[in-house]
Amino acid sequence: MKDLSAMLALLALLPSLVWAQQYPDCQHGPLANNSVCNTGLSPRERAQGLINAMTVGEKLNLTHNNSPGVARLGLPSYNWWGEALHGVAAAPGVNFSDSGEWSYATSFPQPITMTAAFDNGLLYAIGDVIATEARAYNNANRSGLDYWTPDINPFRDPRWGRGQETPGEDTYVVKQYIDNYVTGLQGGHNPATYKVIATCKHFVAYNMEGWQGNNRYGYDAIVSTQDLAEYYMQPSQQCARDTKVASIMYSYNAINGIPACANPYNIDSILRGHWNWTADGNYITSDCTAIQNMFTDHHAFDSRQQTVGAALNAGVDVDCGFYNPTYLSSALSLGLIEESTLDQSLLRLYSGLVRAGYFDPPNTPWRHLTWKNVSTPKAEDLALKVAEEGIVLLKNNGVLPVTISEDKNLTVLLVGGWINATTQLQGNYAGPARTLVSPWMALQNVSNLETIVVQWYESPLIRAIDTQPDLILWIDSTNEAAAEGEDRNTIRWDNLQIDAVEMLATSGIPLIAVHMGEQVDDSAFLSNPNVSAVVWAGYPGMLGGQALVNVLTGKVAPAARLPLTQYPTDYVDLVPMTDMSFRPNSTTGNPGRTYKWYDNATVEFGYGLHYTNFSTAITSPSTSSFDIQSLVSACGTYAHADQCPFRPYSNTTSSLSVQVSNTGSTGSDFVALAFVSGNYGPAPYPIKSLVAYERLFGIGPGKSQTANLNITLGGLSRHDENGNQILYPGSYSILVDVPTQSTWNFTLTGTQYMMDEWPQA
């Protein structure tokens, strides 16, 4: 810099640049003497001090996601809307730069692929890395501390446009995902200071986008109390009651006639009442435009003022939308809301920010994180590992892992729409990644392997024969995309795709079909003897192509399992998306939903092959009869009876022990799955229900490991028609693995025990 005066001017600016961060200035600014800056007080007391200093006009200004703050008080503007489903992602409250520093973040696989790994430790580690990167972005004034993630609605119908965002169809898996991922994001279980504020969305019974004239903005989900308590509410219960998530998002839909954002039963009776979700900082946001939709789509209120009033009075604290800033003031003038209600909302919101350290001094946790902490080699290795652990092997006649000899190059013909996929590997709610490695790119780095690329529409059979490849690798996803706002009508491959694979397969050259993206019916490939192998790789994230190649070449042995059912093509003709029920019903023709109630899957939930064989053996407990009252009275320290462990051995300190032996010749991980089945509780009875899993790592050939399957009394319970959770006497079977390899039968005796009495509407 030649101009000395310019340099001096810049230096003069430096002190202010040093404090130039987005945090409120608790040292020098107008807030310095406000109790919000007094770290000796509770979050609620601190937030109360802030609210006490505000005028009613200022308060009204703070009830939507894009908050202007209060300049007079030194409260900065703040956007509550961040996204981080599988990495810090684009959102109104997240500011990526176009290039260089702050232009990307680690982009993990989608949750549907994460949970296929059945590895709880991995889920916690992902949440922790994402929160670290989010904090770094926050320190650079490029994001807030609130992230509206995860999506916890279980994947109820294979057509759903947002299924890829979810951990699958099973409530037990969803609950494990929440407990580990949210705890990672928030910086521990119910921490004093939140690392980031996570948001479980969407409460409740939301999983239809746009289907045959039904629209999510005005959809009324008709749900029985039994299905509500047993299925739709289970993830939220985990979030609110057990994992203690900081915040919750309310959905677009109505539940039995009442829109979610004005539903006092769900909010007061269930969430804040039954689950006691009342800790400092527990706030509710609407989904974006959901308050407005109560007026424009649900037609639930006569005026816009009544609409915003109903949402605030029901306890929705933030409007992601523009109805609150526009109409809340006149709702107050009309007497439709009280200022004290507004104060309660702001108290919840700001005590959350207090708990995230927003008003704390600069030397507090996570303020040191910078760009150097984003997308580190370690974080990217984790992204690769998650993808490797989440790839499911569905069929293998021995072609996998692909053998590559040093004597002769292996020629691989690449066909299909995703052979060079990059951003598609990320799926939705993705942030920009430092690099995106497609399958084609990863294959270029495999020595003694050459690729030939053919587009499927170039008459692949002719080209395949022309080029005499050693192997054909077809990589594609369904062309009928599922998207937010749009569900699919079919769950099948296009005929063109099936034709291409079948034509290629007739060449007699080994063919591997890699199924990416959404679930569709693979039966044509599974039943075709000329298709040598089928792999489901979902949405494997930034290094997804590398992970796939590592699995195909045997660098990594696959051990993932399907976290959802792969249904036959005709399933979608049998049950409309709008039928929210699960049990088979001969009147409506509903064949049942999820593996618990539907028994004709193309590929079953929990299925997945290995490059080796495993055998399992349950260590038999010495008794097979347990008295319900004795089990319950032994639970002392658990807040809720459903969390109480079921310990079947006479020493009563061990969970169910399963010996897993690798009987083949390749070292591999193994996911031990335990289901319960039996005719107990209210009929009809589920086929089986997952009650525990553990991923065991690196079991060598000829070696064994023990899985400790932590079954709880909740896992053995059923829900009655009123939604009550009850432990019933009866005959039970524990089934290990898919298909079942080992079973253990036992009985529960005595009288039924009410575990959780469900509040009636």
Ligand X SMILES: *[C@@H]1O[C@H](CO)[C@@H](O)[C@H](O)[C@H]1NC(C)=O
Residues that bind ligand X (CB under 6 A): 20-22, 30, 32-33, 57-58, 61, 68, 77, 95, 120, 141-142, 276, 278-279, 409, 420, 422, 438, 440, 448, 450, 453, 523, 568, 583, 585, 587-588, 600, 602, 619, 649, 651, 653-655, 657, 694, 708, 710, 733, 743, 745
- Report residue 760: phi and psi, to 5°: -85, 145
Which runs of consecutive H residues, i.e. helices, occur in 301-438? 304-314, 323-333, 339-355, 377-390
Task: Return d(Cα 23, Cα 46) in angstroms, integer.
Answer: 15
Specify the residue, 376 or 420, whose C-beta has the smaller distance to ligand X: 420
CB of 237 to ligand X, least distance (A): 14
- Chain centroid to Cα 95, Å, comes to 23
- Listed in sequence order, the DSSP H helices in 187-289 are 225-227, 234-237, 264
- 48/55 Cα distance (integer angstroms): 13
Reference 371, options 184, 113, 101, 637; nearest CA is: 101
Residues making up the chain, counted from first to last: 761
Under DSSP, is residue 44 helix (H, G, I), strand (E, B) or coil? helix
**Residue matched to tokens 């024969």:** 465
Task: Show Cβ contacts of residue 458 under 8 Å, excluding neighbours closer than 6 positions.
Answer: none
Q: Which is nearer to ligand X, 228 or 262 (CB)?
A: 228
Say whether 3 is catalytic: no
Nearer to ligand X, 269 or 420 (CB): 420
Question: Which residue number, 32 or 483, has a Cβ lying nearer to ligand X?
Answer: 32
Measuring CA to CA, how many Å separate 589 from each of 149, 411, 565, 572?
35, 49, 19, 11
- Closest by CA to 624, choosing from 710, 748, 463, is 748
CB-nearer residue toward ligand X: 619 or 665: 619
Residue 689 β-bridge partners:
676
Residue tagged 């057990």 (tokens): 242
Cα separation values, 355 from 321, 365, 377, 631, Å: 25, 12, 30, 38
Report in angstroms how near the CB of residue 43 gets to ligand X at its nearest: 11
Q: Which residues pair with 725 in a beta bridge?
A: 719, 756
Q: Is the dihedral of CA 250, 692, 627, 597 positive or negative?
A: positive
CB of 4 to ligand X, least distance (A): 27
CB atoms within 10 A of CB 298: 23
Give least dist CB 543 to ligand X, A.
14
Q: Are the CB atoms for 630 and 699 separated by under 8 Å? A: no
Which residue lies nearer to ligand X by CB, 256 or 733?
733
Nearer to ligand X, 621 or 664 (CB): 621
Closest CB 51 distance from ligand X, rounded Å: 14
Burial track 389-403 (b if 16+ CB lie within 10 A, e otherwise): bbbbbbbbeebbbbe
- DSSP secondary structure, 445-488, as one string: TSTTEEEEEE-TTS-HHHHHHHH--SEEEEEE--SS--BTTB--
Q: What share of the chain is helix, strand, coil (3-state, %, to 5)?
A: 30, 20, 50
Cβ at position 76, least distance to ligand X in Å: 7
What single string gives the DSSP state of each residue in 60-101?
HTTSBSEE--BGGGTB--EE---B-SSSSB-BTTB---SSST
At what angle are helices 339-355 and 323-333 packed, to 10 degrees?
A: 140
Closest contact distance (angstroms) between CB of 665 and ligand X is 27
CA distance 311 to 316: 5
CB contact at 8 A, 403 and 553: no
Of 157, 287, 317, 642, catalytic: 287
Other beta carbons within 10 Å of 7: 11
Q: Closest distance between ligand X and the C-beta of residue 735, in Å?
A: 9
β-pairing, 718-719 vs 725-727, is antiparallel
Distance CA(533)–CA(395), nearest Å, equals 5
Q: What CA–CA distance (Å, rounded) separates 735 from 355?
A: 44
Shortest distance in whole angstroms from residue 95 CB to ligand X: 4
Question: Least distance from C-beta 289 to ligand X, angstroms?
Answer: 19
* DSSP output for 665-720: SS-EEEEEEEEEE-S-SSSSPPS-EEEEEEEEEEE-TT-EEEEEE--BHHHH-EE-
Q: Which is nearer to ligand X, 172 or 295 (CB)?
A: 172
Annotate 347-379 with b (16+ C-beta within 10 A) or e (fewer): bbbbbbbbbbbbbbeeeeebbebebebbbeeeb
Q: Which is nearer to ligand X, 35 or 420 (CB)?
A: 420
Residues 6+ apart with CB under 8 A from 393: 400, 533, 534, 535, 551, 558, 560, 608, 609, 610, 611
Q: Which is nearer to ligand X, 420 or 666 (CB)?
A: 420
Catalytic (active-site) positions: 287
